Amino acid sequence: MKEKMKKENVIKRIVIVLILLAIAVFVLIKAQNYLKEKTDETINLVINNNNVTARLKHEVKIKDGTIYLSMDDVENFFDKYIHIEEDTGEIVTTYETKMASLGLNSNKVTINGSVKKINAGAIQEDDVIYLPMSEMTDVYNMEIANIEQNKIITIDSLNREQIKAYAKSNLSVKWKNEIFSKTVDKVKKGDIVILISEDEKGWAKIRTENGEVGYVKANKLANHTTVREELTIEPQISGKVNMFWEYFSQYVQAPDRTGQTIEGVNAVSPSFFYLDDDGTLKENVGNSGIAYINWAHSNGYKVWPMVSNSDISIDETSALLNSYEKRQALIESIVEKCVEYGLDGINIDFEEIYEKDKDKYSRFIIELEPRMKELGAVLSVDVTAPDGDPNWSLCYDRNVLGDVADYLVFMAYDQHGTSSTSPGTTAGYNWVETSLKKIIEYDVVDSEKIILGIPFYTRQWTTNSNGQITGKGVVSMRNITIPNNVEKKWDDTLKQYYIEYASGRNTIRMWIEDATSIQAKVSLVKQYNLGGTSGWRKDMESDGIWKVISDGLKQAEQQIQEEDK
């Protein structure tokens, strides 16, 4: 009998130990569901229904009713390009369609060129700059609320969808979508909550009127109402861009293209705008330019005129880029011209820039972009190949330009140009592809934002008997002539034909640009899913070239459609 009782006691102890172990395991597994993202000791920040308090670099501050967020945190959550301008000391910030600047302890903010009074300016404490977020709601297009009793600040972007619902009964709001989870708030029957999302387990993620984010059962909510729709912006051009540059100097009128149509083209970039030596915008539009714009629009072509710095020196370009005042004046002029002439976009073509001004050029594009977006206008920026001269190739931050602008236009030509010391092709396929891959992979530019610039010209290289180059003349595709006794040789690496022949004591060499070479280049749009092409320049192309380009871009679009199925 005693032996039996001992065994029963041992079994009881084992069972108790197992139960305690099970409880311990359960607690360890479920303990995380009792943790809270909210920090009770500090002001919590909820941005677009996400508690980001743990990610803040500095605490949120509230002074005299004004809500402040550090410049570091504004950079993290709103504007990664926020900047303090050296020559003015102004804080410059851009967001969606707004470009704003404000100074420390100033009661004024300039938004898209207009000055507005505010109740509190930026402040600095312990070397940290704070922005008055509650005074900048129209800059960042947001609603901001201070829920004092819960020490929560909520910020909601006004371009995001918002859905509200009613509680069908009294509810406990859980921190996680589990029954065994910390209760973060209580909701009474009839209370309105913001519905964030629903999951496959039947839980709804909500935000309460107290600013708390958590979970309730989805079937406990009723009367879902969309109080704000998601803002979506349709692209100007659906599909691939098929553009050309139309060059004429400031002393020449725009060409008369009345009655002309160009197969596949959907955008044109006439050289309407150039810069004076002090950085001010000059124009060459006039009646002929207005007629050109009307012709383009009547054919369904978007008009993205070029703004070029080709008429000013590299030093004058530097003076413009390094002056915040001059940059803003130029931006205001561009905006005015877009409105005056009903333009669909702008193509910025700044070349020959000091490498040291790379970041200042990026600032110009960063500051211009929201002004263009406000107008619904497209911003495209031209760049050269990644490798080469500091003031020709290394002067562009392609990563930033590609991120900010709607399109980055890679001028894939002059592989061998006026500065070359030996004859060579204008745009060999292998060089174009290698440069493209560097822009996509090294500079990390979205391939769909890259427009491939293709040449409608080549060069005729002339060397004398001593091997010295005596000529590098540009020859348009339509004017290429090959002597009868000269044989074209195919170069499969360059994807183009090459000719070489004697002319007296000189040797003539030419790498031919024709339908075959252009077709090969356009095929890169499909291969790398590029945004499209642009030809330099109109009226240098040979007959039938627009069909070659149009067919190549259609193939690229068909590939995307098939992949989306």
For the chain (565 residues), the mean pLDDT of every run of 10, in chain order, is 57 57 45 49 94 96 97 98 94 98 95 97 96 98 96 97 98 95 96 97 97 97 96 94 96 96 98 97 98 98 98 98 97 98 98 98 98 98 96 98 98 96 97 98 98 98 96 97 96 98 97 98 98 98 97 96 83
pLDDT, position 87:
86
Task: Specify the DSSP class assigned to residue 229.
Answer: P
Q: What is the pTM of this model?
A: 0.93
Q: Which domains does the chain have, with CATH numbers?
A: 44-147 (3.30.457.10), 161-228 (2.30.30.40), 241-455+515-564 (3.20.20.80)
pLDDT, position 41:
72
For 525, the token pair is 């749009």
pLDDT, position 25:
42
Alpha-carbon distance of 128 to 58, in angstroms, equals 9
The residue to which tokens 């003015």 are assigned: 88
> Residue 349 burial by CB count (10 A; 0-12/13-18/19+): exposed, middle or buried?
buried
Task: Specify the DSSP class assigned to residue 33.
Answer: G
User: 318-323 long-range CB contacts below 8 Å, 24 or more apart?
Assistant: 318/353, 318/354, 318/357, 319/279, 320/275, 320/279, 321/353, 321/357, 321/360, 321/361, 321/363, 321/364, 322/87, 322/357, 322/360, 323/87, 323/279
pLDDT, position 28:
40
244-255 b/e with 16+ CB inside 10 Å = b? bbbbbeeeeebb
Q: Going by C-beta distance under 8 Å and a sequence separation of 6 or more, which residues neighbour residue 240?
A: 525, 530, 531, 532, 533, 553, 556, 557
pLDDT, position 36:
47
pLDDT, position 350:
98
Q: How far is the CA of 206 from the CAs of 55, 216, 237, 401, in angstroms?
A: 21, 7, 38, 38
pLDDT, position 8:
58
